[in-house]
Every structure is written in structure tokens, then in C-alpha cells.
Structure 1
Amino acid sequence: MTRTADSRFTIGETDFLLDGAPHRIISGAMHYPRVHPELWRDRIRKARLMGLNAIETYVAWNAHEPVKGEWREDGDVDLGRFLDIIAEEGMHAIVRPGPYICAEWHNGGLPTWLTSSPGMRLRSSDPAYLAEVTGFLEKVNAIIAPRQIDRGGSVILVQIENEYGAYGADKDYLEALVRQTRAAGITVPLTQVDQPIPHMLENGAHPELHKTGSFGGRVDERLATLREHQPTGPLMCMEFWCGWFDHWGEKHHTTTFADSAADLDRLLAAGASVNIYMVHGGTNFGLTNGANDSGRYLPLVTSYDYDSPISESGELTAKFHAFREVIAKHAPVPGLPETSATDAPVLSAAFEAVADPLSLAIADRGAFDAPPALDELGPDVVLAEYTADAADAGLLEAKVRDYAWVSRDGVQVGILQRSIGDLTLPVPAGVRLSLLIEETGRVNYDEKIGEAKGLIGAPLLDGVPLPGPWRVRTIDVPALGQAVADAAASDALIVNGRATGPVGLRASFDLMEPADLFLDTSGWGKGFAWMNGFFLGRYWRRGPQRTLYVPGPVTRNGRNEVVIVELEGATDATARFLARPDLGHEVE
């Protein structure tokens, strides 16, 4: 692919036009915060080898500005560098800044400090909401604008909002986003995306937005519906779903690569452009996993492999080769070097234990007459302890979001889980009642984005609200990894290879050189894991995921240290690393 400093990308009567000539986009989705930045080039290059000519990415506002006024655009969120690498690899870029992105990402990409604002009407022309969005778009578009194709960069398309027609129909809101985007110097074509369902396409429509679709099958039907609502210009599937995501407690989803390849062939044979979602899914590192709730709350697992052509660890899968063969029928593909899958190092190391790890990163937030929601205690609080005295006996009922360990006088007596429905626990008179509550993932779709988390209202004892005061302490979860690494160990906490949580566990091991690893979590209960200070994410015995991906760049030649904070209990207090990932029993 060649480009000049004055290349132009436009929309014609029937095609996308690159410098006036018809151009078909064959793109793949890859989200830069889900990939270690030292691996961006590798994954982009592999996408090009599959035959793609573009990379698409969302921009997660809460990854750039988790705390209001503290904007980041470096390291894992260096969007400018990501777009520059795409250009250096001879590819185009499609950017989807939202501000709402869905993407199975924490809170749909919206910061919790925004969604918890009283009276804020999200994704609307509410002036208070638009004022915050304007600041976000100004910062993002300042990164995108100089990297547009007509300035010698990679960006050819910018999307406005995301699947908005499934949510609302506020045309003033869309007009404001378009106006702000153009005012920031974005000159490339603007797009919208919705499922090819008539009311969705029309709800999300704006005269300056080219309509695209999101679907994974029924290609001819979907393209026909899209053409009815976008009578001129190119047809494009902006999200060709070639896989799916996983929730904790469900099976691992895969798709038959032959069926996906056949659908891709139908798309390209029809002359449509495509963005494969996902070409490389990556990982929900740290606390970035989202959740869905269509009547039942279900949080996403840490892996975002998505059964993609390029796996979570960068392996070229059977789907990669099948897609490459299809693309070769419709467009040139580069030569593919000889590659073969290699096993990761297999090793193990015994853990040593650290007592009471939560106390190492805990903050006393004071007493409250009524239990506050987590958002009232600060942005992105995911773990908090609520304590009150129960003078009377009764049956405890509590509304928790999303998971709570209940203790009486310091002894755990039960668990409350939102995902399996409300439970009740008996409470005798005269005890101190504590609930350690974890937010296990923020809903990323539909109306429950931004919902309150933590202890929702006062618990009931035999139907009567338990009176305060409520003493509240919050735990800085990202800080736990280093805190456990630095703390003194206790030999007495591991008995017969088992450890009761909450407990910190750490182990050291040597590598001859940096390498991708697969950390086996099957002997552990529920908690968080770090490698050399890098926050890998959550694990949970519920599955389906049984390994955590450790990117090679976070490992090193010589001594390495893995840390976990186990909240329930480990039946195997050992750090084990497997040759291959285990994402769970597959279901198509």
C-alpha cells in the first residue's frame, strides 16, 4: 500500500475512494489497551500477513482518564504510537472514539466518575454530559487529526458513537458529536454502526454519517437491509463477528472456522468492505472486564481471546489460515513466512504466604448513617468492607453488587452472589456484621451502564433495615500486588499445600529469556494475579478460564515473581505454568 502526504480518502457513489480510485477496506479489530504495547507491532504485522489492509480500534475513555482531570496517553494507552505503528506497517486505521464503545469493556468505556454524576443523562444531548464529552473528544481528536491520511498518517475513517440506534434516537446528540469532531479537524469520512435492523439504523442515523452494519451471519439478508437504508456508497460490515466472548460460569465460546470463512467469502464476493471483529482480541488486563445483564448479571472473564484468527498469545490459528485463503480470492495477500506454534515454558514454584493482604492497601473511609455505594467513595473502587453491629437476631437479606463475603464477629459465614440471585443468612443477636464486597465487572451494554455498585441500601434483618453507623474501608486492589511482594511472609499460613483466604501468595522462578507464559489458576479460588508487578487480571474457580496469559514483555531473563491475592482459598498453593492456554470447555 502506498500513500502520499496529500492522499485523500472519500466516499463515492458506489465505493470508498483512495485518491479517486475504488478501494475496498479489509480490516480487523484490535484494541490497544488489550495488548501489551511491546506486542502492538507483532500483532499488527500478523494481521497484515492475513491479508488485511486496515486496523480498527476503539478508544476507551476510562482507560485514558480513570480519574477526572488526570489524562493519560502514554504506555498502554499511547494511541498516537499505536496509529503510527499501523502506518509504519503500511496499513490504514479506523478509529472509534465513542464516547461509548461497549466492547465488553468496563462500563462500556465511560469513566465511573462520569456515570455516577447525579442527574447525568448518558448518551444524550444533556448539556452536562456534552460538556464532559467535549473535553474528551478534544483530547482524542488532537491525537487523531494529525494522523489522518491526508496528512500522511493512517486514519481513513472515524466513527461517531457506537450502536447508538439500539440505545436512543437523540438527533441533537449525534449532531453535537459530529460538529465537535469536525471542529477538531477530522476531515476523513464519518461513520455509524448498528445491527442491520431498520429501527436501529434509522435511530442512529445522521446526514453526515455513512451507515455500516454489525453482524456475524445471514450475510445476504443483512447486506440487503443495510442497502435499503444506505442507498449509495459502499456497503461495509464494521463488525463481522467471527467469534464471541465468555462470561464467568459459562462455557468457552468458539465458532467453526469453516463457517466463519464461508460468511467472510460471501461478504467479499458481494463487494462489501469488512472489519473483522476481532482479528486479535487480547486480554482484559487488570480490572477492565465488563459485564452483561439481560435479566441476569454476568461478568466477563479476563481473556478476550474471542476465538480470533490471531489468538490471545499471538498464535496464528486455523481460522487465520482459512480467512487468509478467502481474502486471497478477492485481494492480494503478502507472503507468509514459515511459522509453527511453540509451547510455553512449563515450570512450577512453591508459594510463600503473606497474612491479611487486604490490610496492606486499606483505607478507613469513616462512618456513615447508611451504606454508601462504591462510586461515592471514589472512582473505580472495586473492593470495600462494610461493618455494622446487629443488636437483634434475624434473617439477613442484602442487595450486593456484585459479590460479598459475609462475616460475623470476624468469622466468615456465607457468600452473597448477584449472578445467582439473592440469598439469605441467619444472624444471631449482638454480633458485628461485615460484608466484604467486590465489584466483579461493570455492565457495558444497554441501560445499566453506570449503575451503583457495592452495598445497595441497608441490609434487612427480618425485613427491618439494619441501622448504622456503617464503618467503611476500601481496598486499593491495583496496589495489592506490590504490597504483597514487599511484605513479610509467614510459614504457618500454608498447611498441606492449602491456604485459606484472604491470603497473599508469592513465588519466584527463573527464566533463561523472556517468554509468554500461561499461569495455571485451576488450584485457586477467586482473586487477582500479578507478574513482576504487571496486573494480569482476575481469576475465578467458576471458570471457564483456567489460565491467565502472561505477555512475554512483562517477564525477564533471570528471577521473576508471581503474586496472587486469594480471597477464598487455594487447594494448591503452587505457581504452575502450562505449555498451552486453557480457556475452558468449548461450545460453538
Structure 2
Amino acid sequence: MAAFEIGEQDFLLDGEPLQILSGALHYFRVHPDLWADRIRKARLMGLNTIETYVAWNAHAPERGVFDLTGNLDLGRFLDLVAAEGLHAIVRPGPYICAEWDNGGLPAWLMATPGVGVRTAEPQYLEAIAGYYDEILAVVAPRQVTRGGPVLMVQVENEYGAYGDDADYLRALVTMMRERGIEVPLTTCDQANDEMLGRGGLPELHKTATFGSRSPERLETLRRHQPTGPLMCMEYWDGWFDSWGEQHHTTDAAEAAADLDLLLSQGASANLYMFHGGTNLGFTNGANDKGTYLPITTSYDYDAPLAEDGSPTAKYEAFRAVIARHAPVPGEHPAPRASAPVLDVALERRVALADALPLLVEPKPFTHLPTADEIGQWSGFTLYRTDVESDDALLSVDEVRDRAVVLLDGEPVGTLSRTEGLTTTSLPPRAGVLDVVVEDQGRVNYGPRIGEAKGLIGAARTATRPLERWEVGGLRLATLDPDLLTMLHVAEPQDVAPVAGPAFCQGLFTSVPGADHFLRLDGWSKGLVWVNGTLLGRYWAAGPTRTVYVPGPLVRVDNEIVVLELHGARTGTASFVAGPDLGHTER
């Protein structure tokens, strides 16, 4: 048992000053078999604390469901932090941003009529209470006051950038205290006067978020936190990537020098990120500040520890800085070893149109429902209707976020929210029109949090409105066994070009337990599974050129399945020696 307090000048652990040297590591972005490795490397860099968000929607994918298993086993993660001799900070939101789908808020909650968003609205608070019942039951027994690693718990997240409802924040504080959280509670906001003024409570300790000009930012924080230790709860040491943009990097020496200034003032810091990890499956978020930009599958973040857990130049630069302020172990983590290099022929293909009966049971509608209306919270949604030979085109009010348009299974067009494409021409023939809409990630920051996905508003052709539809969500989180059977018995096509949209399957033998880096040069856009696990999205738009395959997923004999939405010039996929996160200049 220990006592952790916020003193007049310092954080105090059993009465002794503690400068918190923390690193952000999101358990839900890392394979659980790799947690211990990442935590150990944090200690070897000189950190004494691990911080993590909690992604509510990952734990609660549907109303009434709560999952604490596998890579969602927060209790196991915190126990591994403790086993490494480190402290922990937990930030359970309910809103987390984190470039995560919907900022961590469950889409099923946002679809509730009349529900509030980040405010003291009764339905919203009731749902949070249920969430806290589950997650704080994991955190409470692991507080430092009960022999565990947890020093602090954060209330909400950068709330000053969104709202100013003090009653809402106080309701969260009450719920946390009622559920056994007795360690100090904090808030964090971006280091400007307006956000720090709006986002906290007088009774809670304020921290700030920033990534440069540390002395100036700390001075701003001190105006709002007159006493007590100063802390940068997110020291932005890198940045996230969006599809179609460049790979963001920051200079290691400059970032280290600024961190040195921060620590030299006696402030505590949490590196955001220490290790970014991966947006597996459909978990990436998006930003929309006039243009909708979904986040890449890789969440490498140009962090000190790369997406695959390898130390970087920034790791060594930060380690040297930390050594000037605190003891650092003498051991260094090993550098990245070359991953297995091999080509895989994806010889067996099944057209998406032929697979649809296995993946979806569409239901009839006399209007155009959103994906949320049918309970499809992520992934792909099928919209089906009949068209006539003189319809000429399909036009929709809005698409969220991208769609492939098929006529009798033949691709005839694309709709795109980012590109503003809401109309496509149709061939002059009657047939069955399928619009396969991809939710590319729910907005994670700003006023568009909680918006519905799918086709929004109305649809029409050149001659008439389209009002009769069949709509259903595609089951793609796991691969349907009957689809796999179709792939296994399909006639091999060697490495012929791929005409999409189609599922493509191949087998490969490799080193079990070794990290792999999948490269799909010449492919366009889609999803990839290895041994049944949906790794996420790939896209020729870049910047990311490789998909990280965690070693624990790899066996001696392996299967890869790709859903290519458009086409590929070759049916070959390649595993390469290391990652390629793309160009760094625009």
C-alpha cells in the first residue's frame, strides 16, 4: 500500500517527491502477447509510469455487451505494468479522441434518440455509469492505495476544446468516487487560456497537452494551476497519419531538446506516444475540418518505440535526456531484426458479388436508412435497389464515407466523401444496383462526433427518386467459413491481375512468431486478414506502404486473404524486411 498525493510543489509518493516520467501505450492497439515487451522497453528508456486511454467502444461494441478479454484485458495489462515495477495513469474518458473511431464513444449510444454528447444529459450519463461500473471495477483494486500501480485517473479528455458543462464534469467525478476511485483525479487541456479555462474544475488538478515551446506552455498552465506540480499529460513527440497525406515525423534532436527544457523545470511528462501501435480492423478514427480525412491503419506516430516495438533514434535521444534527470537502466533494447522476405501468390479469387449472400441478409426499406439505423456500427453496408435502362445515373445526397457501385455485380462507379463524389453514371441497361458503402472511420474530434454513417438523405437517378431498397451490414470482422471454403476450392489463377472487387487468398510458409511487413504494391484499396485476423485497411493513396503483421499471429503455415475493392496489376503480395510508412514531404 502507498499514498500518492498532489503536494504544494510536487507529486508525492509516500511523502517523497516524484517526477512522473510516463509514456502512452494503448493496450488495445497492441497484441497482448507483446504488452510485456513494450512495457519493459519503456522502463529501459528511463520511464517510471505507463499511461493508457480506455476505449469504451472497443469494450462495448454493442449495447449490453462488455468485453475484457484478449487485447481488451485491461486488468492483465495493468498487472504487467506493476510487474515491471512501473506506475500507471488511466484515462477512461468516456471520450478519449486518440485518433480512434468516434473518439471512443460507442456508436450505438450516439444513435439513441435525444442522447447528449459530452454533456450532463440523463441518457448519456446513465450509459457512462454502466461503463464505469465495468471498467472502474478493474481499475479500483489496482490503485496505488491498494497495492497496485495506478497513481491517477483522468476525468474526460481535453474537454475545453469541446464544451464547458461543469455539471457534466462533476457528475463524472461523483461516479468515479462512488465506484472506489480514491487516487487523485486530473483533467487535461491544450495549453491555451481558453481551453484550460473551460475544460477543468477548480477542485481538480489541471494538466496540459502540447508538443513544443515547453517553458511557454508551462507558464500558461501555471496561470490556471497556481500551486502543485506542473505536468504535460500529452507531450506530442510525433503525429498521426491520414490517408492521402504525408507520413508525419518530427526531428528527434529538437524533440529531445524541448523535452529536456520541460523536465529541467521540474515538470512531469507523459510522452504521447511512447509506442503507438496499430489501428487494427475498423478501429481508426477520422478528422473533418472541412475535408474528411480517415486515419491510417498504422498508428506508429513517429514515437520513440516504432509500431513493431523497435527502438528508434528518438528512443535513444529521449533516453539520453531522461538520464540527465533520473536513473536509467544500463541495458539497451535490441535493434530491429530483418523480417522474413517472401512473395505470396494470391491465386484463388471469389468476386465480392458472389460472396455477398454469405456476408449479408439485407432487409427491405421504403426509404434510405443510415448504417446506424440498421445497427451497423463499423465496416461495410450494402444498399441494393433495381434500376432501369434509362436511369442514366445514381446520385445521393451524401455518402459516408466511400462506396463501390456495382450493376449486376459489375463495378460501374465510386462515390467518395473526401473527393465530394456523390454521383456516378450508369450503363444503359436495367439490373440490380449494389452500393457497397465503407465506413472509413468515425470522426474522433470536434462537433461531428457521433454522426451517422452510410448513405445519408435521399437517392435518385436522372429520371426518378429511388425509394425501395434492401439494406444490410456486411460481416467482415471475421471471415465467414463458407467464404473460406469458396476460396479454397476456387480455380487457381496464378499471379494474374485482380479484377475487383474480389476476395483473394494465398498460403505461405514462414518463421512462426516473427514480425512480418506486408507490401501490396500494385493493389488499390481494401482489407487484409492473416490467419483469420483482420489487420486493417490498405490503400494506394498512402502514405503507408506496408501493413504490420504482429509475430504472435504468424505460424509455420499461414493463410492471407485480401479484399481488393478495385483491382491489382498482379496477384502477388510481398513480405519485406522492414516497414515503409511512406513519404514525409508533401
Is the structural similarity TM-score above 0.5?
A: yes
Q: Given the alignment, which residue of 355, 365, 370 partners 2:350? A: 355
Q: Given the alignment, which residue of 115, 136, 151 partners 2:110? A: 115
**1:177-576 matches, cutoff 5 A:** 177-337=172-332, 339-357=334-352, 358-359=355-356, 361-391=358-388, 392-398=390-396, 399-427=398-426, 428=428, 430-462=430-462, 466-480=465-479, 483-489=482-488, 494=493, 497-556=496-555, 558-576=556-574
Q: Distance in 2 between matches of 1:500 and 1:490?
A: 19
CA shift digits 1:152-174 (9 cap, x unpaired): 10000100000101100011100
Which sits farther off after the overlay, 328-337 or 170-179? 328-337
Per-residue deviation, 1:387: 1.9
Give the aligned residue type for 1:508: L
Give the aligned residue type for 1:397: S
Q: Is the 8 A contact 2:381 2:471 kept in 1?
A: yes
Q: Distance in 2 between matches of 1:127 and 1:543?
A: 42
Per-residue deviation, 1:41: 0.4
Q: Distance in 2 between matches of 1:411 and 1:509?
A: 31
Per-residue deviation, 1:397: 2.3
CA shift digits 1:128-181 (9 cap, x unpaired): 110000010111111000000011100001000001011000111001000000
Per-residue deviation, 1:574: 1.5
Q: 1:62 aligned to 2:61?
A: no
Per-residue deviation, 1:474: 2.4
Per-residue deviation, 1:208: 2.9
Per-residue deviation, 1:368: 0.6
Q: Distance in 1 between matches of 2:117 and 2:410?
A: 41
Per-residue deviation, 1:491: 5.8
Per-residue deviation, 1:394: 4.9
Q: Distance in 2 between matches of 1:361 and 1:213?
A: 50
Specify whether residues 236 and 338 from structure 1 end up closer, same or farther in structure 2 by C-alpha distance, changes over 3 A only: closer
Which sits farther off after the overlay, 360-369 or 399-408? 360-369
Q: CA RMSD in A?
A: 1.7
Look up the SS of the partner of 1:443 in the other structure. Answer: coil
Q: Distance in 2 between matches of 1:534 and 1:397?
A: 35
Q: Is the 8 A contact 1:190 1:208 kept in 2?
A: no
Q: Is the 8 A contact 1:354 1:490 kept in 2?
A: no
Give the aligned residue type for 1:511: S
Q: Distance in 2 between matches of 1:447 and 1:58?
A: 21
Q: Is the 8 A contact 2:155 2:186 kept in 1?
A: yes
**1:54-133 matches, cutoff 5 A:** 54-133=49-128
Per-residue deviation, 1:340: 2.9
- TM-score, length-normalised on structure 2? 0.96
Per-residue deviation, 1:507: 1.6
Q: 1:22 aligned to 2:17?
A: yes
Q: Distance in 2 between matches of 1:297 and 1:347?
A: 36
CA shift digits 1:457-489 (9 cap, x unpaired): 221334x76232111232101133755433344
Give the aligned residue type for 1:18: L
Q: Distance in 2 between matches of 1:563 and 1:481?
A: 12
Q: Distance in 1 between matches of 2:357 and 2:565?
A: 14
Q: Distance in 1 between matches of 2:193 and 2:142?
A: 34
Which sits farther off after the overlay, 467-476 or 288-297? 467-476
Q: Distance in 1 between matches of 2:422 and 2:110?
A: 28
Per-residue deviation, 1:338: 6.3
Per-residue deviation, 1:389: 2.8
Give the aligned residue type for 2:500: G
Which sits farther off after the overlay, 574-583 or 406-415? 406-415
Q: Is the 8 A contact 2:347 2:494 kept in 1?
A: no
Look up the SS of the partner of 2:479 in the other structure. Answer: helix
Q: Distance in 2 between matches of 1:349 and 1:422?
A: 35
Q: Distance in 1 between matches of 2:385 and 2:376?
A: 24
Q: Percent identity?
A: 54
Q: Given the alignment, which residue of 576, 579, 582 partners 1:581? A: 579
Give the aligned residue type for 1:440: Q
Per-residue deviation, 1:199: 1.5
Specify whether residues 116 and 326 from structure 1 end up closer, same or farther in structure 2 by C-alpha distance, changes over 3 A only: same
Per-residue deviation, 1:524: 1.5
Q: Residue 167 of structure 1 corresponds to which residue in structure 2?
A: 162
Q: Is the 8 A contact 2:41 2:333 kept in 1?
A: no
Q: Is the 8 A contact 1:28 1:56 kept in 2?
A: yes
Q: Distance in 2 between matches of 1:413 and 1:278?
A: 42
Stretches of structure 1 that go unaligned for 5 or more consecutive residues are none
Specify whether residues 288 and 338 from structure 1 end up closer, same or farther in structure 2 by C-alpha distance, changes over 3 A only: closer
